[in-house]
Amino acid sequence: MQTNRRVFTLGLGALWLSGCVSGGGGGGMASVVSRAAEPGMSPVANAGFDTWVNGFKSRAAGRGLSQSTIDTAFRGAGYLPGVIERDRNQTEFKRTLEDYLAIAASPDRIAKGRAALARHRGTLSAIESRYGVEAEVVTAVWGLESQYGERRGTVPVISALATLAYDGRRGAFFEQQLTAALRILQNGDTTPANMTGSWAGAMGHTQFIPTSYLEFAVDFTGDGRRDIWADDPTDALASAAAYLSRSGWRKGQPWGIEIRLPAGFNTGVTGRGKGRSSDAWSGLGVTTADGGRLPNHGTGSIILPQGANGPAFLIFNNFNAIARYNNAVNYVIGVGHLSDRLRGAGPIRSNFPPDATGMTMADRQDLQRRLTAAGFDTDGSDGVIGAKTRAAIAAFQRARGLPVTGEPSLSLLQTLRG
């Protein structure tokens, strides 16, 4: 079992992918920094859960946790039905890289990231000096994990992890996380009331699960507590840098670069782990995105995340370091690309292929703009088809007496273009 990694995409999947792209626009999700409990995230009576907790408390005592730590942690804790609901309804978004980047490196997230970089320049520079991870990279992780601290999660972690451990779908994993959470409390890093996070126990600015916290979190403020939950993001940002550093990050090296493949390129040589030198790739006709000679950043492999007709990237060692944080290709590119944008680089240059409906990003944005102009609000026009856009399509179809599918299509776009 992988215990030191983010073994599933909690921060993104749970916290913001489900919420903030619903409209296709960037905003709209209420900040979870507010303390109001989400629906189903307050404890309800559950006799089976209580029995399980009693058994767990004995096991925890046998793992070196004090009775007072255990009792304090579980005071007020309880079964959270909302956690199980979220666990069962994890629609594993298979978003295309194009859609993912439209969200991960949206104009709003880039602007907020640049503001955050400026605001925390001193802290981020000190972190960069200590851990050798660039300020823009740490900030990009922060931006993707919690929208720069705006969405750290308000679910009580002990209750959430106990509910998941009791539920048993991944019981052993969550019991391990619950035990680790108790260790954090025993260390005095935070209090049960302050230990909040996502529905599945990813905590703080950088959404660490408890075992990752125990292995990688650091006290950068020097107050003796590794506080990744506080409004002050200093410890959390340093912890993310420590995580990347210990995952092999090399300062000054790119995560990857966008490249251009020659016509007729044999895509059989692409894929993670199929590394070659830049000279070898140059010999095969590979160039930078603007046609220049490849820089030498050591061995790299080529990935084609959206197929041979989409952008191509030459990725290096630092790609794997980010992947230790969250091993999803879109996430890694999201962090890497956002960090590039925070440094002032431009958007991806290559075109993305049309989606499964045959529509390009420009088509989808045009569809959203025309629906909104016709009185069917899609809440923005970022080209990402979310729940609000589907609702707008359905309402439009209903109003026009068309079959109500709620699905985007080229013919719908033609209808709107009149």
Closest approach of Ca ion to the CB of residue 11, in Å: 21
Closest approach of Ca ion to the CB of residue 235, in Å: 4
Number of residues that bind Ca ion (CB under 5 A): 6
Q: Does 219 bind Ca ion (CB under 5 A)?
A: yes
C-alpha torsion angle, residues 180, 184, 187, 189 (rounded to 10) = 170
Nearest to 290 by CA among 258, 262, 267, 334: 258
x/- site string to Ca ion, residues 233 to 262, per CB under 5 A? --x---------------------------
Q: Rule CB under 5 A: choose which of 223, 251, 345, 398 binds Ca ion.
A: 223
Residue number, 219 or 377, with CB nearest to Ca ion: 219
Sign of CA dihedral 263, 264, 266, 270: positive
Q: Does 130 bind Ca ion (CB under 5 A)?
A: no
Which residue of the chain is nearest Ca ion when measured via CB?
221
The rounded distance, in Å, linking the Cα atoms of 222 and 225 is: 7
Closest approach of Ca ion to the CB of residue 222, in Å: 7
Residues in contact with 59: Cβ distance below 8 Å, sequence separation at least 6, in sequence order: 175, 179
The rounded distance, in Å, linking the Cα atoms of 388 and 365 is: 13
The rounded distance, in Å, linking the Cα atoms of 212 and 231 is: 20
* Residues from 36 through 55 that contact Ca ion (CB under 5 A): none
Closest approach of Ca ion to the CB of residue 188, in Å: 11
236 close to 127: Cβ distance less than 8 angstroms: no
Q: Rule CB under 5 A: choose which of 5, 114, 225, 369 binds Ca ion.
A: 225
Closest approach of Ca ion to the CB of residue 151, in Å: 22
Closest approach of Ca ion to the CB of residue 239, in Å: 10
Task: Considering only the stretches 98-106, 221-229, 337-345, 400-408, report the one whose residues sit in contact with Ca ion under the rule CB under 5 A.
Answer: 221-229
Q: Rule CB under 5 A: choose which of 42, 186, 187, 221 binds Ca ion.
A: 221
Residue number, 232 or 366, with CB nearest to Ca ion: 232
DSSP string for 324-351:
HHB--HHHHHHHHHHHHHHTT-----SP
Task: Considering only the stretches 195-203, 213-221, 265-273, 382-390, report the one whose residues sit in contact with Ca ion under the rule CB under 5 A.
Answer: 213-221
Residue number, 162 or 238, with CB nearest to Ca ion: 238
The rounded distance, in Å, linking the Cα atoms of 100 and 106 is: 9
Closest approach of Ca ion to the CB of residue 158, in Å: 21
Residues in contact with 171: Cβ distance below 8 Å, sequence separation at least 6, in sequence order: 164, 165
Q: Does 188 bind Ca ion (CB under 5 A)?
A: no
The rounded distance, in Å, linking the Cα atoms of 8 and 27 is: 24
| Paired sense of beta strands 196-197 and 312-315, if any | unpaired
Residue number, 51 or 125, with CB nearest to Ca ion: 125
Residue number, 227 or 382, with CB nearest to Ca ion: 227
Residue number, 18 or 206, with CB nearest to Ca ion: 206
Closest approach of Ca ion to the CB of residue 225, in Å: 5
Closest approach of Ca ion to the CB of residue 227, in Å: 5
Task: Considering only the stretches 62-70, 145-153, 155-163, 231-239, report the one whose residues sit in contact with Ca ion under the rule CB under 5 A.
Answer: 231-239
The rounded distance, in Å, linking the Cα atoms of 16 and 22 is: 10
Tokens at 67, concatenated: 């009775």
The rounded distance, in Å, linking the Cα atoms of 142 and 149 is: 7
Nearest to 292 by CA among 260, 328, 324, 325: 260
The rounded distance, in Å, linking the Cα atoms of 205 and 238 is: 11
The rounded distance, in Å, linking the Cα atoms of 134 and 125 is: 8
User: How many Cα atoms occupy the beta-carbon half-sphere of 256 within 13 Å?
Assistant: 31
* Residues from 165 through 184 that contact Ca ion (CB under 5 A): none
Closest approach of Ca ion to the CB of residue 228, in Å: 9
254 close to 294: Cβ distance less than 8 angstroms: no
Residue number, 87 or 227, with CB nearest to Ca ion: 227
Closest approach of Ca ion to the CB of residue 132, in Å: 20
Helix count (H) and strand count (E) of the chain?
18, 6
Task: Considering only the stretches 5-13, 35-43, 187-195, 232-240, report the one whose residues sit in contact with Ca ion under the rule CB under 5 A.
Answer: 232-240
Q: Which residues lie near Ca ion (CB under 5 A)?
A: 219, 221, 223, 225, 227, 235
